[in-house]
Amino acid sequence: MTNCIDTIDRPYGSGPVERAGSTIGRVIDRVVAVSAQGAMAAVLMLLDWQRRARERAHLAALPDDILKDVGLSRADVEAVTHKSVWLRQG
């Protein structure tokens, strides 16, 4: 059995706890990386939903003559603008 003084004199990273810590550190790094990827995916999804809401609002604001020029009816626009933002058009 070692006492506290022996562990202080030992260089960092040479004991079994330090070696196990590096494994735990790699696991934590991986979890953080996966969490960061998930957070980034969530932010991108929210930005996409915001873009869809903005585009649908712009579409709803167009006058009927412009909608007719692009081949849409007011009923088409109403169907799209009443969908939830997490649902794609089409």
The domain segmentation of the chain, as residue ranges, is 4-81
How far is the C-alpha of 77 from the C-alpha of 74, rounded, in Å?
5
Give the burial class of 17: count Cβ atoms within 10 A of its Cβ; 0-12 exposed, 13-18 middle, 19 or more buried: exposed
Query: pLDDT per residue over 65-90, tens digit each?
Result: 999 999 999 999 999 888 888 777 55
Query: pLDDT per residue over 44-69, tens digit each?
Result: 999 998 998 999 999 999 999 999 99
